[in-house]
Amino acid sequence: MKIDQTTVNDKKIRIRKSDLGLTLLVWLREVLDLTGVKNGCGIGACGSCTVLLDKRPVRACITTMDRVIDREILTIEGLTLSDGSLHPLQQAFIDAGAIQCGFCTPGMVLTAHALLLNNPNPSREEIRKVLTGNLCRCTGYQQIIDAVERATGYYQAKPKRVMKR
């Protein structure tokens, strides 16, 4: 009998049969207590629930659990460095003043992280285009784009990692 599992923030997690009827958003928040993923609109339009699935941004509110079996999920909690410090991209958001209420921040950061893994030196237009699906009601997009630009040096110094298709 096959055991359904997935990897969340580098940890193998068993998926109970009863969890298969849940969305990834509900499972992460209510079963795993990973509350960094936010429930904004519930229809995949705002980006607040964005997590990375095999290093690609997905909307957790419309992703069913059957789609995550044997795959890798990264939430904002998993982006923190092993010593407990903020990831350079998270620090760049703080330094650029790209956080006010913080509700959209996890989705913005993870979307930007996916971009920078694949393209460590994007243009402002490329950053803007990637972030168009993530809504922010209070910070303003200029500071968010500035934050992503600030973090490019960290990604440029790392060996290029191509995302799985």
CATH assignment at residue 57: 3.10.20.30
Q: What is the pLDDT of residue 164?
A: 45
Q: What is the pLDDT of residue 159?
A: 64
Residue 162 belongs to some domain of the structure: no
Does the residue 148 lie in any domain?
yes
| Shared-domain flag, residues 92 and 74 | no
Show Cβ contacts of residue 92 under 8 Å, excluding neighbours closer than 6 positions: 98, 147, 148, 150, 151
Mark whether 50 and 115 lie in a shared domain. no
Examine the domain organization and report whether 69 and 94 are in the same domain.
Answer: no
pLDDT at res. 64: 96
**pLDDT for residue 1:** 63
Judge whether 147 and 92 are in contact, CB under 8 Å.
Answer: yes
Q: Phi and psi dihedrals of 69, rounded to 5? A: -60, 130
Residues 75 and 11 both lie in one domain: yes
* Res 163: pLDDT: 46
User: Comparing C-alpha atoms, which of 127, 118, 119 is closest to residue 149?
Assistant: 127
> Does any domain span residue 164?
no
**Strand 50-53 versus strand 56-59 pairing type:** antiparallel
pLDDT of residue 138: 84
pLDDT < 50 regions, the chain: 163-165
| Integer Cα distance of 87 and 109 in angstroms | 10
pLDDT recorded at residue 160 = 56
CATH number at residue 96: 1.10.150.120
Structural domain including 44 reads 5-79
Strand order in the sheet with 72-74: 11-14, 5-8, 72-74, 50-53, 56-59
The pTM of the full predicted model, rounded to 2 decimals, is 0.92
Residue 94 shares a structural domain with residue 145 = yes
Residue 60 falls inside a structural domain: yes
Question: At which of 79, 99, 115 does a domain end?
Answer: 79
In angstroms, the CA 58 to CA 91 distance is 23
Q: What is the DSSP letter of 15?
A: -
Number of separate domains in the chain: 2
67 and 22, same structural domain?
yes
